[in-house]
């Protein structure tokens, strides 16, 4: 536990203030910003649900959540076509990478092997990290 607390403190010291934020600002109409933030919060809940299922060795359930909430099957429910026109190309690419990786994870998880599934799940989070590291919205 001490190691985790130490790592958290060390990472907090490297976080920039809002004034030093060099990420590309993506300005969205207010309703679109709220929609995108709602989608991202749902993505976090989905990731937590997936990890819970993996921890309980429920790979089929994890696969279902991944595909329905994050994967390519989720694009309609998230309004992806509607949102894409407001995003810079790199942001769209990161989002598409995340959705495709989630679908790949779902397929891998259905195979029933935990470690290979986790490896593909890291591709999902890598796309999230890339987008959040490069872009901010307002």
Question: Taking the domains of the chain in order of start, what are their residue ranges?
Answer: 34-137
Residues 23-82 have pLDDT tens digits of 999 999 999 999 999 999 999 999 999 999 999 999 999 999 999 999 999 998 877 788
Burial of residue 11 (CB within 10 Å: 0-12, 13-18, 19+) is exposed
Q: Which CATH class is domain 34-137?
A: mainly alpha
User: Within 13 A of 67's CA, how many CA atoms are on the CB side?
Assistant: 13
Closest by Cα among 138, 106, 137 to 121: 106
pLDDT(13) > 50:
no
- Provide the whole-model pTM: 0.84
């Amino acid at each position: 536990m001490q190691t985790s607390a130490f790592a958290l403190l060390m990472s907090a010291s490297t976080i920039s203030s809002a004034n030093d934020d060099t990420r590309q600002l993506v300005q969205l109409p207010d309703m679109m910003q709220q929609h995108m933030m709602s989608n991202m919060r749902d993505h976090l809940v989905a990731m937590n649900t997936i990890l819970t299922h993996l921890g309980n060795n429920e790979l089929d359930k994890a696969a279902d959540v991944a595909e329905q909430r994050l994967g390519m099957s989720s694009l309609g429910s998230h309004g992806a076509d509607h949102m894409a026109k407001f995003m810079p190309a790199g942001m769209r690419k990161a989002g598409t990478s995340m959705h495709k990786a989630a679908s790949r994870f779902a397929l891998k998880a259905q195979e029933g092997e935990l470690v290979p599934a986790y490896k593909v799940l890291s591709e999902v989070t890598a796309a999230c990290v890339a987008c959040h590291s490069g872009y901010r919205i307002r």
